């Protein structure tokens, strides 16, 4: 004779397990976010960050550089439709295609605006092009920030 399976008990147990796993996932994501913030801050202290300010002195972006990584962080996320952001993403795509080992990622906020751009695999051979592209974009967005606020 086959024992009857109590599906409701199994269902409630599975739902409880899913809730617990979702809580753990949120905790791990928060911990990862804190770790990334600490990494960026330690890079800024260790290597110094290049800051980009609007004409009225407001901080717009920071460029952090480590041995093989560049991170451009915006204080106020920038729309992807911004022409300078389009230029940056196209340029990074081209650089990544031309240089083996270069990877870049674009971190967007909940509203889809770009918060951070990270480039990995930076070497002495390609650093100048990548830094110039990131700096150009940051300078242009910083100088345009004043006009957008008017």
Give pLDDT tens digits for 5-28. Answer: 788 999 999 999 999 999 999 998
Burial-class residue 89 by CB neighbours within 10 Å (0-12, 13-18, 19+): middle
Ramachandran angles phi, psi of 115, nearest 5°: -100, -45
76 & 142 share domain: yes
Based on the fold, state whether residues 58 and 122 are members of the same structural domain.
yes
63/136 same-domain check:
yes
CA pair distance 17, 49, nearest whole angstrom: 44
The confidence band for 72, taking pLDDT boundaries of 50, 70 and 90, is very high
Residues 6+ apart with CB under 8 A from 96: 102, 103, 104
**Tally of domains within the chain:** 2
pLDDT for residue 89 is more than 90: yes
Q: Do 110 and 43 belong together in one domain?
A: no
Report the mean per-residue pLDDT for the chain: 85
Query: Which ranges in 1-115 belong to alpha helices (H)?
Result: 7-47, 83-98
Question: Sheet holding 50-53: strands in order across?
Answer: 50-53, 59-65, 69-78, 114-120, 103-108
Size (the chain), residues = 150
pLDDT over 80 at 4, yes or no: no
Q: How confident is the model at residue 41 (pLDDT cuts 50, 70, 90)?
A: low
Domain that includes residue 81, residue range: 49-149
Same domain, residue pair 35 and 101: no
Q: Are residues 63 and 90 in the same domain?
A: yes
Q: How confident is the model at residue 67 (pLDDT cuts 50, 70, 90)?
A: confident
- Residue 109 sits in a domain of what CATH number? 3.30.70
Residue 52, burial from CB neighbour count under 10 angstroms (0-12, 13-18, 19+): buried
Evaluate whether 137 touches 84 at the Cβ level (below 8 Å). yes
């Amino acid at each position: 004779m086959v024992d009857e399976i109590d599906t409701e008990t199994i269902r409630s147990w599975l739902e409880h397990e899913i809730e617990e796993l979702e809580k753990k996932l949120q905790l791990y994501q928060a911990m990862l976010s804190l770790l990334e913030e600490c990494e960026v801050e330690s890079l800024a202290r260790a290597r110094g960050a290049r800051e980009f300010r609007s004409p009225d002195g407001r901080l717009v972006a920071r460029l952090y550089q480590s041995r093989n990584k560049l991170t451009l962080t915006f204080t106020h996320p920038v729309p992807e439709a911004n022409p300078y952001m389009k230029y940056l993403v196209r340029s990074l795509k081209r650089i990544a295609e031309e240089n083996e080992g270069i990877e870049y990622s674009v971190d967007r906020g909940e509203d889809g605006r770009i918060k951070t751009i990270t480039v990995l695999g930076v070497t002495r051979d390609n650093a100048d092009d990548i830094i110039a592209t990131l700096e150009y974009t940051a300078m242009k967005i910083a100088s345009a920030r004043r006009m957008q606020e008017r």
